[in-house]
Chains A and B, each alone.
Chain A
Amino acid sequence: MSAVFDAVMLLLLIATAVTVARARDLVAAVVTFGLYSLVLCLVWQHRGAPDVAITEAAVGAGVTSVLFLLTIAKTARTER
């Protein structure tokens, strides 16, 4: 059961990373990066690293995504 959870989480990680690469709309890419951060946080919680999971959850979605969105608001919205 734990192996199934692991496998599903890792596949989800790779799928979200590929989606970040393929998204043309930069806001969609940043939101998907936030989802990638969340799945990574769950993976780390499952691997017995609660400290790292808390920090990644707060930093990945809270700080990094917001900073990205602020810069996208100042620059371009779509990738050419």
Chain B
Amino acid sequence: MLEINTNIEKPYTPTPPLGGRGGVIETIDLTKCFGNFTAVDHISFSVEKGEIFGFLGANGAGKTTAMRMLCGLSKPTAGQGFVAGYDIARQPEQVKKNIGYMSQKFSLYEDLTVKENMRLFAGIYGVKENLILPKIDETLSKLGLTAEANTLVKKLPLGWKQKLSFSVAIFHEPQIVFLDEPTGGVDPITRRQFWKMIYEAAERGITVFVTTHYMDEAEYCRRVSIMVDGRIDALDTPANLRAQFHAENMDEVFTKLARKATRIES
């Protein structure tokens, strides 16, 4: 298990009832169908401001589809969702102003340098020109990437790419950042650094919505939801979930739930 400075973690306070208007992310029966296939099946949950929310599920459970809907990339088939107070179906562009997104597949420009990518996205999000350069320098030194500022992104190793993606996603200080399997295929040291960055972002008040397959990482989230076949089967703090499922760790919780899945892995 990774070691994280746990004193950053805030004491847990119960969230308002599901479907309430208190959270920075709210969904009510959010559903997405592709033809006859229901990828996301009436999910309702709420995420509080500043929370690190783990969004778990086996491959093909519908995590990415749900996340894409919350980011305004995909239109819901039914149900409602509010992100930063905006309706994801009716005001997707307003939602986009307030979020950062790091997709599962690396999607920064490989043929631009580290610095150029940061500058491009800062510019798109409307960060003021005179603030961009100092902030890039600051971010790069924090990432330890100052020497690679003018390196083409395609030449970076995967772990560095992921850290860069995350920095770009939070560069404009969004209210919420969505991370889709940010540590997939990354070495343990980089993963630890990555989670440190996530904690720092949460410290600054950025809500973190993260999917992962690493159950040790699930322990670092304040609350986790576990999706099975498009539905949310469990949602609570890791400690409560362990107690509820009489499990020693999240791994066991996950296995108990995921075993029920009938959907073929896609």
Q: Do chains A and B interact in one complex?
A: no
